[in-house]
A and B are shown apart, each in its own frame.
Chain A
Amino acid sequence: DAKTTQPNSMESNEEEPVHLPCNHSTISGTDYIHWYRQLPSQGPEYVIHGLTSNVNNRMASLAIAEDRKSSTLILHRATLRDAAVYYCLNSGGSNYKLTFGKGTLLTVNP
C-alpha cells in the first residue's frame, strides 16, 4: 500500500498562510497526489489533487516537488473553519485505492 508521512499536528493563526507538508517516499510514476480533510464529526472531504504540476483551486494550492517525493498543501489565509485533520494520499494501482494515514491535525488560533 502507498504510504505517506505527515507531521502529527500543526498550529496556525487565523488569516495567516499555512503550509502543510507531506512526504510521498513510495509514490510511483502514475500515482496522483490527493489531499483530503476531515472536520470534526464529519466524513473526509476532497481538497485538491495533482500529478506533476502545481495546482490551485478555490480551497487551496498544491505544490509538488520536481521528484514528486514531497508535496505541500497551502491554505493562503487560514480561517477557524479550516481546523481539521488533513490527509495526503497517493492514489494509484489498478483500483486507484486511497490509503489514509493518521494525517495532520491543524489547529487555527483566533
Chain B
Amino acid sequence: EAGVAQSPRYKIIEKRQSVAFWCNPISGHATLYWYQQILGQGPKLLIQFQNNGVVDDSQLPKDRFSAERLKGVDSTLKIQPAKLEDSAVYLCASRLTGGKGTDTQYFGPGTRLTVL
C-alpha cells in the first residue's frame, strides 16, 4: 500500500514570499490533516479535512495560511506571505475514517521549510 506522499521535501524562501505544499493521502482515506512541527517540538495540528470539508481549523493562522482539499483527495497548504517563524516541517497525515478513536493516522515524510 502506498503511503502519504508530500512534495516538495525541502523549500527555502525569503520572508514575505509565498509557498505551497502538496499532499496526496492514502487512497480511500477520508480524513486529511496538516501539522506544523517546529524544531524540538511535537507536531501541531493546523487543519483537519473530512472529505473536502473543513472539520477543524482553529489553529490555522488564517491571515496568512490557507488550505484546500478539492474533490476530497489531494490537498494543498499555502503560506502567503511567509514569516521567519514559519520555518518548520509541514506534515500531512491521513486516516481512513474521521469518527473512530481507533483509526490510525498515517504521516507523510514532511516538507522542511526554511524562511530567510
Q: How many Å lie between the Cα of A97 and that of B98 in the bound state? A: 9
Of listed A43, A97, A101, residue having the most chain B CB within 10 A: A43
Q: How many pairs of residues, A versus B, come closer than 8 Å at their CB atoms?
A: 56
Q: Are A46 and B104 in contact (CB under 8 A)?
A: yes
Q: A42-B109, A95-B55 are in contact. Are A100 and B42 (CB under 8 A)?
A: yes
Q: Which of B48, B56, B102, B109 contacts A43 (CB 8 A)?
A: B109
Provide the main secondary structure of the chain B interface. loop
Q: How many Å lie between the Cα of A95 and that of B4 in the bound state? A: 20
Provide the main secondary structure of the chain A interface. loop
Q: Are B42 and A43 in contact (CB under 8 A)?
A: no
Q: How many Å lie between the Cα of A85 and that of B41 in the bound state? A: 10
Q: How many Å lie between the Cα of A66 and that of B105 in the bound state? A: 26
Question: Does A102 sit at the interface, judged by CB under 8 A?
Answer: yes
Q: Which of B98, B105, B106, B110 contacts A98 (CB 8 A)?
A: B105
Give the number of chain B interface residues (Cβ < 8 Å): 26
Residues of B contacting A45 with CB < 8 Å?
107
Give 13 new A-B contacts, CB below 8 A, not counting A45-B107, A49-B102.
Answer: A32-B101, A42-B107, A42-B109, A43-B4, A43-B108, A43-B109, A43-B110, A95-B55, A95-B98, A96-B98, A96-B103, A97-B45, A102-B42
Contact residues of B with A, CB < 8 Å?
A: 4, 35, 40-45, 48, 55-56, 91, 93, 98-110
What are 28 of the A-B contact pairs (CB < 8 Å)?
A30-B101, A32-B101, A41-B109, A42-B109, A43-B4, A43-B93, A43-B107, A43-B109, A44-B91, A44-B105, A45-B107, A46-B104, A46-B105, A49-B104, A51-B101, A85-B42, A87-B42, A92-B101, A95-B48, A95-B56, A95-B98, A96-B99, A96-B103, A97-B48, A98-B105, A100-B35, A101-B42, A102-B40
Contact residues of A with B, CB < 8 Å?
A: 30-32, 36, 41-46, 49, 51, 85, 87, 91-92, 95-103
